[in-house]
Every structure is written in structure tokens, then in C-alpha cells.
């Protein structure tokens, strides 16, 4: 394990710069409790697809075609249980939204307060990292981040605790982007800047808590 960490010191260092990591460490107990609730959350999620409110909007959208334009086929073709399912499935895209990771957090007590979970200055490098990994045909980190987002979606909780694997993946992707555009010579300077900003964020969390 130590060897692995030493080999990947760069990425480990970046993870240590994220408020998200430290927040999870200091709230490990609460995170573990959340994980124990996965079965409950998941069954609520699955049974929540065809709720009254979801089916109500289908009726509401059918209303015009049925009662005003007398187009029952069109009403039923576009607005039915399948479209409710598609509408629900597409909510998975909310779980990979960059804003969640690089600015807002999830708003819960398991999200670092008042700061971004991953420093927002990592965002452009994260994008460049995606391009870099695609260019190198290294799709695993990207596919894994989608997979973990999907798992959190199935659990039905858009929280950083269930998206925790994506902390490491997103930082890895950002790190790949940094390595692609920052030369070895200038890397130390950039890392110092990232560190200063990260320390500022950590200081801000401490100030907010106190």
C-alpha cells in the first residue's frame, strides 16, 4: 500500500488538497452510517419512479392533446410510463454535473460547508484531463466515474458520501490534465499555488465551523 502511495504521490497529494477528503475523514462515522442505509434508500428510489406526482404530470401533458386538439395517439405516444422512466433515468446526468464537485457540494452536513469539495481551480485541468485520457484511449477512469455516479443514482442519494469514489477519480482526471499541460519544470510552482488555495479553503472551513 505504501509503495502504491509513493508511486502515485502526485495524485495522493492532490487528493489531500481537497476539502472533500478531509471532510469525509473527520466525518467517517456519519459516512459509514449513510452506507448502512443503502438498502432503504435504494428501495425508496425504485418505488419512487411511478409515484402519483410523476404520473400526474403525464396526465397533465396529455390533457391538451386529448381535450383541445383531439389527438389521442400523440398524447399517448409521447406521454406514458416509458417517458416517466426515461425522465427518471436521465436524472443520472445530475450526478456527474461539475458544479456538484467543483463548487456547490450537495448541501448536506456531509458536504464541506461554504467551500467547493474539489478546488474549483482543478476544473479546467479536469476537462483537459478528460481530453488527455480519451486521446490515450484510457477510458477506465471515465467509465468508472460514470459507473459510480450511476450507483449513487440507483441508491437515490445525490450526496458526496455515495459519490466518494468519484473524488479520487475526478482528482486523478484533473491530475492527468495537469500533467498534460504543465511542464515538469513549472509543476512545482503550480502545485504550490494549488496548495496555497487548498489551505485557504481548509482554513475557511475551520473558520465557518468555529
Partner 1 sequence: MDNKLKLVLILLSVFLVAFGARFFKIASYPVSLTMDEVSIGWNAYSILKTGKDEHNERLPLAFKSVGDYKPPVNIYLTVPSMALLGKTEVAVRLPTVLMGSLAAVFMVLLLMELNLSWIASVFGGVWVGLSPWHIHFSRSGFEAITALSFLLLGVWQFLVWIRKRNKTSVLVSITALSLSVWAYHAERVFVPLLVVYLLLSNKDKILKILKKQRKILLWSLLVLAIFAIPFLKLAIFTPAIKERALSTSILRETSLTQNLHFGEYASLGELVFNNDKYLVFRHWAGKYLNYFDLNFWFWRGMEFTNPGYLDLGLMYLVDLPIFFSGVYFLIKSKNRKYKTIKGLALAWFFLGPLPASMTMNEQHPLRALTWLPFFGLVVAFGVEFLMSIKNKWVKFGLGVGYIFALSLNFLYFTDIYLNQGPRFKSEYGQYGYKQIAEYTCAHRDDYDQFVISETFGSYGPLSTGIPYLYSLFYCDYDPGNFQESRKIPQLSFRRPQWKHDKNMENTLLIGSPWDFLDIDEIPEKQIVKRLKFLNGRESFILVETGRK
**Closer CB to partner 1, residue 31 or residue 152?**
152
**Closer CB to partner 1, residue 12 or residue 144?**
144
- Minimum distance of partner 1 from residue 32's CB (angstroms): 30
> What is the Cα–Cα distance from 142 to 93, expressed in whole angstroms?
14
- Minimum distance of partner 1 from residue 66's CB (angstroms): 11
- Minimum distance of partner 1 from residue 160's CB (angstroms): 16
Burial of 46 (0-12, 13-18, 19+ CB in 10 A): exposed
HSE-CB of 39 using CA atoms within 13 angstroms = 1
**Closer CB to partner 1, residue 31 or residue 128?**
128
DSSP letter, residue 50: T
**Closer CB to partner 1, residue 31 or residue 58?**
58
> What is the Cα–Cα distance from 169 to 11, expressed in whole angstroms?
10
- Minimum distance of partner 1 from residue 72's CB (angstroms): 13
**Closer CB to partner 1, residue 35 or residue 69?**
69
**Closer CB to partner 1, residue 35 or residue 78?**
78
- Minimum distance of partner 1 from residue 17's CB (angstroms): 17
- Minimum distance of partner 1 from residue 167's CB (angstroms): 17
| CA dist list (Å): 100 to 94, 95, 108, 143, 159 | 8, 8, 12, 18, 9
Q: Are 119 and 194 in contact (CB under 8 A)?
A: yes
Positions in the binding site for partner 1 (CB under 8 A): 53, 57, 60-61, 64-65, 68-69, 74, 78-79, 83, 87, 90-91, 93-94, 96-99, 102-104, 115-116, 120, 123-124, 131, 134-135, 200, 203-204, 207-208
Q: Are 160 and 113 in contact (CB under 8 A)?
A: no
Q: What is the 3-state secondary structure (H, E, C) of 3-44?
A: HHHHHCHHHHHHHHCCHHHHHHHHCHHHHHHHHHCHHHHHHH
Amino acid at each position: 500500500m505504501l509503495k502504491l502511495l509513493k508511486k502515485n504521490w502526485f495524485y495522493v497529494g492532490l487528493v489531500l488538497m481537497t476539502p472533500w477528503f478531509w471532510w469525509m475523514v473527520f466525518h467517517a462515522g456519519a459516512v459509514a452510517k449513510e452506507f448502512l442505509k443503502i438498502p432503504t434508500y435504494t428501495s425508496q428510489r425504485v418505488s419512487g419512479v411511478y409515484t402519483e406526482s410523476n404520473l400526474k404530470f403525464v396526465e397533465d401533458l396529455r390533457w391538451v392533446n386529448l381535450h383541445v386538439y383531439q389527438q389521442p395517439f400523440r398524447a399517448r405516444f409521447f406521454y406514458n410510463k416509458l417517458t416517466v422512466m426515461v425522465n427518471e433515468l436521465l436524472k443520472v446526468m445530475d450526478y456527474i454535473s461539475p458544479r456538484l464537485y467543483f463548487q456547490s457540494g450537495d448541501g448536506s452536513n456531509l458536504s464541506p460547508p461554504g467551500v467547493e469539495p474539489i478546488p474549483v481551480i482543478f476544473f479546467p485541468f479536469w476537462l483537459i484531463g478528460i481530453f488527455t485520457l480519451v486521446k490515450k484511449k484510457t477510458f477506465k477512469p471515465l467509465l468508472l466515474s460514470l459507473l459510480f455516479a450511476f450507483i449513487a443514482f440507483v441508491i437515490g442519494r445525490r450526496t458526496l458520501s455515495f459519490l466518494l469514489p468519484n473524488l479520487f477519480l475526478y482528482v486523478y482526471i484533473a491530475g492527468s490534465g495537469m500533467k498534460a499541460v504543465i511542464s515538469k519544470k513549472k509543476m512545482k510552482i503550480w502545485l504550490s499555488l494549488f496548495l496555497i488555495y487548498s489551505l485557504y479553503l481548509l482554513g475557511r472551513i475551520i473558520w465557518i465551523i468555529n
